Structure 1
Amino acid sequence: MDQRQSIAEAAVAASAALFPERGMTARWEPVRARCYGASGAYLALTDRLDQLERDERGSVEVTQPEIDGVLRGLTDAARGVDEFYRGNQAHLEHAVAVYGSVPQLVSQVRAQAEQSRQAAAASPYAAYPSIRQCAAAVDEGLLTLEAAVASGSGGATRDAATRLETLVRELSTALETAPGKQHSAATAVASAATRLDAARNRLERIAPAMSALLREFAAASSNDLANNERQARAAIDAAAADLAHAREALTSNDPEAALEKTTTARAHLATAEERAEAVTDRLALLRQVREQPAERAKAVRFKLRDAQMLAVNKGVVPQWGSVLDAQAERLDRAGAGLTGRHPDYWAYVSELDAISAFVTGVVERMRNTER
């Protein structure tokens, strides 16, 4: 029993150190207590038997039922250990194996960390921010590992070693990718410069498009676009400044800074392009609607009829019929609002889009109700 208990106790300790969330200690405690109780009864019995051998007057008595009871206690305790171990065998053996591998893991990761730090220090790209950051992270990981080892916590040690292993891989990756960054940065800067030229050309289309919007359509159709040219121009100026800094970084052999500035420039260019396209797209859309205003409404009405048919087929007309009918009335009112010399086509388009989105939501709710 003692031997079995020792094996199980060591496995539970390994589990508690590495996987405390499994709660093995709490589950082992009553089994352990039964072993201690059986051992205590056995020791007490052997002590009395020793006294019986020494007692010539026969004042000490030990009965066979007492001996049988102690033996049963030992047998039951041993069986409890076996049942506990078999019931958790896969996990306990895994915990023991992992716990036993921790010292080897620590030694291996320490060696890898030292090698990677030496490689970083000797690298011609050691000044790159990515390599400096990764190297500093490895240094910090080493300190964390040493503290965990000193604490004697197997779980904390394993976690620290695993974390350091990840940091070493990141440093190795940074060292591997460093040689190609100068070329990548040069390519990125050239590509962004081409995009900047295109954005400047697109900027020139904003003013004529805004002028056409104001001439051909109600002022309300373009009020939200009034600042687009100014915003696009500011974004282009910011992108040009970022690209200038990127070129300076390239000249200074700092491709990571160049890539960072190029990324920022691209974000500014995206803003400029979005502001320019919003104006030209609005003009194209309103002209299309003006030519055939009924076509856009026809598509929404078709979508509404599909929703009404779905309500009928699913038997949910009492819940949704009046709601969908109300959208048909909204469609009629939207079309009736296209009056005057300069009808508000943008308000018309916005209302049709709102009706379409509402109908989509109703259809989704009807389908969810069905499920």
Structure 2
Amino acid sequence: MTATETQPHEQRERRRVRGGPLRDVVGLVLLPLPLLVAMVPVSFAGGGTRRWFGRGESQRADAQAAKDAAAAAFYELDTAHRDLRISIETITAVDNSPAARKAAEDYAGFGRRIDEVSQQYITAVDSHDLDRDDLDGAAVARARADLTRAKEELDRVRSELERFAQGLGPLLQTAETQLARLAPAVERARQALLAASNALDAVRAQGLRADDLATRLAALGPELTKLNQGAGQHGVQETIRRADDMLRKAEGVRTEAERLPEKAAETDKRLVSLRTRAQAITTRAGKVDPVLSELRRRYSAACWQDLQQVPEQAARSVQQAEVKLREAQQARDEQRWADAASLLATVRALLDGTDEAVSAAGDRLQRLDAVSFDRQKEVERTRFALRDAQRLAMAGRSTPDPRHAGPLDEAVARLDRAVAGLEGRHPDWWHFLTETEAVRETAARVVQEIRGARGGAGGG
């Protein structure tokens, strides 16, 4: 589009009127000569009219082109500024880091500079009316220079603005990623809350109260209100954090609610199982006295003195376990699942200790009978463990490491003393068994140390 085409309709109309006589001259061969003579002075005389063609009009067209170019530069800067504002608003809505705050401050500085160059452009446009008929060449030149200078300033600030916008790439990408997470995170939280509520309704329909779960779910109500208020009030990051927290808590309630029928069945099963076990231990504890009587009759006091209190301790422990079982049953009836689980764990611990103590008497008699009948089997078993450790200590060495040789030598001497201690009329077989067991433990520890050291050296 030419400069003339961009001029206002009124100006073009005005020029059409001025140019009309010139076009009429072309057809004056058909007019009377007096009329032609009368019209020519009107066409070429002064009187405020100017020639349409010539240097002046070319300068005016150049000035108009400069004005159009400045207008285009102003529009491009405004567009870039609006695009940048959207980017800055995106960043500041999500990010409160020092880098984001600096970006916002720099953007504000650009805003002030854009206002300055925009005002310069507006001033240049308002100062020069290129449509004036009496505009002289000097005024046209000034207009062109001012408008060109305004365009250059607009272009320069726009280039700086675009470079600044490019530098915001990482911050903007992070912010957009956060914003992309916002809506899905909120929706997931709401769906999780709904699923938890439905799960609670389902277990209540089965006669399970789930009061603690209902309390936990109700506590999420205020958080849901804040979530519904949106990121505009609470910020994007805080809203995402709240949504993730609600999702986690709601899923926890839903999972526990769905497991509640299974938990109830499991609690019932454990109650029955522990009652049966308590009865069995009571029965077995009644057989400890005959075992102790046999130990006292056949072996020295050192072999059985530590077992004297087992019957009494077993009875007391079983009695305590039965009390806890009744409390656990009451907790289950009241659907206090955590209390029931804790009480059942206490019952199990009591019965485990009692079972071990009751078994110890029978195991003691069996082991003492075996070693008193054939001590050599126990001795050979222990010597084999020692020889195995000694071979490993000497593997690849001319002399063993003192850290290994010392404990092994002491273990050999300890075994010899244990064997020698069996001489006499009433040998302490239990002491012999505990000593051989301790010797084997020493050998096993040395083997573990050697293998650990060599494995570490190989790994290094």
**Does TM-score exceed 0.5, indicating one fold?**
yes
Task: Report sequence identity in percent.
Answer: 24
2:440 is aligned with 1:360: no
**Structure with the greater alpha carbon radius of gyration:** 2
| Greater RCO (Cα-Cα under 8 Å, separation 6 or more) | 1
1:97 maps to a residue whose letter is: A
Q: CA RMSD in A?
A: 4.2
1:46-65 pair list within 5 angstroms = 46-51=118-123
How far apart in 2 are the matches of 1:103 and 1:255?
33
Three-state SS of the structure 2 residue aligned to 1:277 is helix
| SS in structure 2 of the partner of residue 342 of structure 1 | coil
Q: Does 1:159 align with 2:241?
A: no
Tell whether 2:385 aligns with 1:303.
yes
1:48–1:62 CA contact under 8 A, matched in 2: no
Instruction: State the one-letter code of the partner of 2:167.
Output: G
Name which of 96, 99, 110 aligns with 2:182.
99
Q: Which runs of 5+ in 1 are unaligned?
A: 17-23
Q: Are the counterparts in 1 of residues 200 and 257 from structure 2 also a CA contact under 8 Å?
A: no
Structure 1 pair 35–200 and aligned structure 2 pair: CA distance change class (3 A): same
Q: CA deviation at 1:284?
A: 1.3
Counterpart CA distance in 2 for 1:38 and 1:361 is: 75
Alignment partners' CA distance in 1, 2:228 and 2:97: 22
SS at match of 1:317: coil
Aligned mate of 1:209, from 274, 278, 291? 291
2:10 is matched with: none
Please state how far the C-alpha of 1:155 moved relative to its aligned partner: 3.5
Is 1:333 aligned with 2:420? no
- Cα deviation, 1:105-158, whole Å, max 9, x if unaligned, reads 35434544554555566x36145xxx2222222222334444666683303421
CA change 1:306–1:65 in 2 (3 A) is: farther
Partner of 1:45: 117
Using the TM superposition, give the Cα deviation of residue 314 of structure 1 relative to its aligned residue in structure 2, in angstroms: 5.3
2:258 aligned partner: 173
The 1:363–1:55 alpha-carbon spacing in structure 2 relative to 1, beyond 3 Å, is: farther
Equivalent-residue separation in structure 2 for 1:339 and 1:77 (angstroms): 97
State the Cα distance separating 1:281 from its structure 2 match: 0.9
CA contact (8 A) 2:419 2:432 kept: yes
* Cα distance per residue 1:236-263 (max 9 Å; x no partner): 233444556778899x797979888766
Checking the alignment, whether the CA contact within 8 Å between 1:31 and 1:80 is kept in structure 2 is no
Counterpart residue number, 2:453: 369
Amino acid at match of 1:46: S
Residues 365, 314 of structure 1: CA spacing in aligned structure 2 closer, same or farther, 3 A cutoff? farther
1:270 is aligned to 352
Distance 1:303 1:78, change over 3 A: same
1:230 is displaced (CA, Å) by 0.9
Letter in 2 for 1:25: S
Change in Cα spacing, 1:177 to 1:44, as seen in structure 2 (3 Å) is same
How many residues end up aligned between the 2 structures? Answer: 351
Instruction: Measure how far apart 1:12 and its partner are.
Output: 7.0
Amino acid at match of 1:202: R
The alpha-carbon distance between structure 1 residues 155 and 255, as it changes in their structure 2 partners (threshold 3 A), is: closer
Cα shift readout 1:289-325 (whole Å, capped 9, x = no counterpart): 2223333333333223222322333558334343233
Match of 1:6 among 77, 83, 86: 86
- Unmatched runs of 5 consecutive residues or more in structure 2: 1-79, 129-138
Contact 1:138–1:167, Cα closer than 8 Å, also in 2: no
Deviation at 1:277, TM superposition (A): 0.2
- Code of the residue aligned with 1:99 in structure 2: it is L
- Kept in 2, the 8 Å contact 1:134–1:170? The answer is no
Instruction: Measure the CA separation in 1 of the matches of 2:259 and 2:152.
Output: 75
- The reply to whether residue 229 of structure 1 matches residue 311 of structure 2 is yes
2 CA distance for matches of 1:126 and 1:276?
A: 40
Give 1:76 deviation, angstroms.
2.2
Can you list the C-alpha shifts for 1:64-90, whole angstroms capped at 9, x where unaligned? 9976753442232122123555xxx5x
